[in-house]
Amino acid sequence: MNQIDLTHFSLRQIAELLQSKKISSVELTQTFLARIKQYNPNINAYIALDEDKTLAQAQAADARIAAGNVTPLTGIPIAQKDIFCAKGWPTTCGSKMLAEFIAPYDAHVISQFDSAGAVNLGKTNMDEFAMGSSNETSYFGGVKNPWSYDRVPGGSSGGSAAAVAARLCAAATGTDTGGSIRQPASLCGLTGLKPTYGVVSRYGMIAFASSLDQAGPMAKSAEDCALMMNVMAGFDERDSTSLDRAKEDYCKDLHQPLRGLKIGLPKEFFAQGLDANVGKVIEAAISQYKKLGADIIEISLPNTGLSIPVYYVLAPAEASSNLSRYDGVRYGHRSAEYSDLMDMYCKSRAEGFGAEVKRRILIGTYVLSAGYYDAYYLKAQQIRRLIAQDFVEAFKQCDVIMGPAAPSTAFKAGEKVDDPVAMYLQDIYTISTNLAGLPGMSVPAGFAQSDDGKSLPVGLQIIGNYFDEARMLGVAHQYQQVTDWHKQAPNLDMPEGIA
């Protein structure tokens, strides 16, 4: 067996090899670990590795396979975004504040993968407290986009995206508050899904903006995402927003034909601000859907333009409250020198948080303050309602909504770090979905030429109605049966973008 090929296999193919005992989980895990050793020092996708722990899990998985006690993910190595608490693992959320923190318990997502017999390969790099679109706010340094090392992988789940794209794991987890699964999936050429709010438990997932945060899979294909969702989704009483719904099989609609599917194209998603080459790729993907028998309908989401301003009131407001727990007292960074309690709080937080996190805490505290609450926070909540209502109207006319996942391909490292507003615009097409609580995904749809002649991945966004993940995954899977964009992988030894 050619060990290199294994890293490109789908989850189903890997599961078949494991269950027919053609390979062991230990061998498979070692293959990924060797590849991580070779490429991670440059890419910086992983910020915590623990070979002993990982291989012990692989051994346990092999024992399960020998005993015939398997699930589709038993023995498969998965990368975990460093926002999930994993018992005995460093859990930093990309911050100096938590640089020394070892989680004493497992997040729900982690324990779900554990029970399925999956192997935790390591923790992936991310923007600090999931705030960012380029992974450049991480305390542990940026992540390189495997398609072109001078570019960012997107964020905040940049480490997971780069790990999947570079085949440094079989699949990974991410979280999406405003686009952090879909935008990096788009920039790195992978399939990523943000589920309906409340479908995946947030227990043990470090909070950024609790009314928006949602975990989801980042993988090579829609089918892989469906298999991951079967593990991740489900009711958990430890999260008060976890939805108590019957267990669902996310693979159930993968083979549904698309004839008669109504696809809505919001005109606001194709307006000014969209890179022309990205637009062409999206149009070609829509044509492919027409060939598959779908009907295209022009729709409008009139409040799309308000989604970024609304998000940058609400998300910082929630973040300023969530992050008040980092006070240097119980856990997290504590300043070495201070005079009294207040000085200890101030110095610990000043030293522990990076610039973007501080900016959000300041904005959040401001919009929640007595004099400004009504003018900013309350107003933003009202507009959030209108944005959600736009989707309710749209879904009266169509089954799914499509458009670009991000306005551009991967941009150069350093290009937007000094311009927060330009950075915030990366999520122009994703944020409204979070505000409405709807599921959204990004699917590889081709490559677009950058100004300097590089071919870089483009993601097609699919937005579904509440709880319509299975259908969305089917819509993506059917496209992936007639295209092979999702099978393309970068050449890590010459990452110039494919010619």
| Active site members | 81, 156, 180
In 3D space, the residue among 148, 199, 139, 149 whose CA is nearest the CA of residue 175 turns out to be: 199
How far, in Å, CA of 19 to CA of 23, rounded? Answer: 8
How far, in Å, CA of 497 to CA of 147, rounded? Answer: 5
With vertex at residue 207, the alpha carbon angle to CA 202 and CA 213, rounded to the nearest 5 degrees, is 60
Tell me the closest approach of the beta carbon of residue 130 to ligand GLN, in angstroms.
4
Site for ligand GLN in 405-444 (CB under 6 A): 427
Number of chain positions touching ligand GLN (CB under 6 A): 13
Is 14 one of the binding residues for ligand GLN (CB under 6 A)? Answer: no
What x/- string results for residues 245 through 264 when contact with ligand GLN is judged by CB under 6 A? --------------------
What x/- string results for residues 180 through 209 when contact with ligand GLN is judged by CB under 6 A? x---------------------------x-
Pick 326 or 429: Cβ nearer ligand GLN: 429
HSE toward the beta carbon, residue 329, CA cutoff 13 A: 8
Is 138 one of the binding residues for ligand GLN (CB under 6 A)? Answer: no
Pick 139 or 479: Cβ nearer ligand GLN: 139
Q: Following DSSP, what letter does each residue of 56-91 receive, concatenated?
A: HHHHHHHHHHHTT---TTTT-EEEEETTB--TTSB-
Is 178 one of the binding residues for ligand GLN (CB under 6 A)? Answer: yes
Interface region with ligand GLN, contact rule CB under 6 A, candidates 172-180, 299-307, 330-338, 451-459: 172-180
Task: Indicate the burial class of 94 (C-beta count within 10 angstroms; 0-12, 13-18, 19 or more).
Answer: buried
Is 450 one of the binding residues for ligand GLN (CB under 6 A)? Answer: no
* Helix, strand counts (H, E) of the chain: 16, 11
Binding residue (CB under 6 A) for ligand GLN from 159, 179, 404, 490 = 179
Q: Which helix (H) or strand (E) holds 394?
A: helix 379-394
Tell me the closest approach of the beta carbon of residue 187 to ligand GLN, in angstroms.
12
Is 469 one of the binding residues for ligand GLN (CB under 6 A)? Answer: no
What x/- string results for residues 278 through 317 when contact with ligand GLN is judged by CB under 6 A? -------------------------------------x--
Q: Which residues contact 376 (CB under 8 A, 6 or more apart)?
A: 313, 366, 367
How far, in Å, CA of 381 to CA of 376, rounded? Answer: 9
Is 82 one of the binding residues for ligand GLN (CB under 6 A)? Answer: no
CB atoms within 10 A of CB 277: 18
What x/- string results for residues 117 through 136 when contact with ligand GLN is judged by CB under 6 A? -------------xxxx---
The residues that touch ligand GLN, with contacts defined as CB under 6 A, are 130-133, 156, 176-180, 208, 315, 427
